[in-house]
Amino acid sequence: MATQRPSYLVQIRDLRFARGERVIFDGVDLDIPRGRITAIMGPSGVGKTTLLHLMGGRLRPDAGKILVDGQDVPSLSRAALYRLRRRMGMLFQTGALFTDLDVFENVAFPLREHTRLPEPMVRDLVLLKLEAVGLRGARNLMPSELSGGMARRVALARAVALDPMMIMYDEPFTGQDPITVGVIMRLIRRLNDAQGLTSVVVSHDVEEVTAIADLIYMISGGKVVEAGSPQTLQRSASPWVRQFISGAPDGPVPFHYPAPDLARDLLEG
């Protein structure tokens, strides 16, 4: 496709990032297609959330390019970065709702900050967004009165309040009951398709991700180890990917933390 608009919304090239001595990303290449749901998977602590923060410009990489809609995020000025962020939504693991505002005001927050819409229009927009996540009736509740799943849905309504071009989900299924997981899965799909969004889902929940993602990237040891559709990944030859998908306790990722031989350890005591 040789159009001006590249078919990839996010392009990451040779990304390197370290926290002190610890190398998190050691040459990551990633392409996130427009209008699709792309999942980034990997074990806990591999830096999946860090990757979202790098894409949102909250962290600076040590080297490499992060292009979002053609703009190199690390080299943007503050004002340009803030302009870009208005078109990116992010759903935090905790929801990150403002605890001093009720549900309605939480969803209205980005509208009030970035637009000068008259009050009746703000009200209509907020109610429509809340309707989309099924919580129009909960508009007067405070965040402390919501369940974890409801808080995430409110946060989702807030994240799409400005009709962004993309939305990033940080572990959207973690710690939720099966019904809520189903609701969130359907919402991610529906928002993606109905609003023409590009979705990036960071998660380690294999079953849920393979059910909704169009494309999956597997990250381990600071690198992308496998990429492809859920079906390709199921057939992957990589023993690491097979262990991750099947959840086998032992394999390339060992069950034991490195330790000397057990017999010798016991005798030395």
Partner 1 sequence: MRPLRDFVNAGLDRLQRMGRAALAMFQRLGRGHLFLLQVLAGMPAVLRRPGQIVAQLRFVGAHSALIILVSGLNVGMVLALQGYYSLVDFGAEESLGPMVALGLLRELGPVVTALLFAGRAGSGLAAEIGLMKTTEQLAGMEMMAVDPVERVIAPRFLAGVLSMPLLAAMFSLAGVVGGYFVGVGLLGVDGGVFWSQMQAKVDFHGDLVNGLVKSLVFGVVATWIAVFEGYDAAPTTEGVGRATTRTVVHTSFAVLGLDFVLTALMFGE
**19 vs 186, which CB is nearer to partner 1?**
19
Q: Which of 14, 70, 98, 207 binds partner 1 (CB under 8 A)?
A: 98
Please report whether residue 83 would count as binding partner 1 according to CB under 8 A: yes
For every residue of the chain, DSSP letters joined together read: --SSS-SEEEEEEEEEEEETTEEEEEEEEEEEETTSEEEEE--TTSSHHHHHHHHTTSS--SEEEEEETTEEGGG--HHHHHHHHTTEEEE-TT----TTS-HHHHHHHHHHHH----HHHHHHHHHHHHHHTT-GGGTT--GGGS-HHHHHHHHHHHHTTT--SEEEEESTTTT--HHHHHHHHHHHHHHHHHTT-EEEEEE--HHHHHHH-SEEEEEETTEEEEEE-HHHHHT---HHHHHHHHT-SSSSS-SSPS---HHHHHHH-
- Euclidean distance between CA atoms 158 and 110, whole angstroms: 7
Shortest spacing between CB 124 and partner 1, in angstroms: 20
**155 vs 201, which CB is nearer to partner 1?**
155
Span 214-243, contacts to partner 1 by CB under 8 A: none
Please report whether residue 92 would count as binding partner 1 according to CB under 8 A: yes
- In the shown chain, the binding pattern of residues 141 to 180 toward partner 1, with x for contact by CB under 8 A and - for none, equals --------------x--x----------------------
Selected range binding partner 1 among 24-32, 40-48, 107-115, 127-135, rule: CB under 8 A = 107-115
Shortest spacing between CB 57 and partner 1, in angstroms: 9
**115 vs 234, which CB is nearer to partner 1?**
115
Please report whether residue 113 would count as binding partner 1 according to CB under 8 A: yes
Q: Which of 42, 56, 64, 222 binds partner 1 (CB under 8 A)?
A: 56
Please report whether residue 32 would count as binding partner 1 according to CB under 8 A: no
Residues that bind partner 1 (CB under 8 A): 53, 56, 58, 82-83, 85-86, 88-90, 92-94, 96-99, 109-110, 113-114, 155, 158
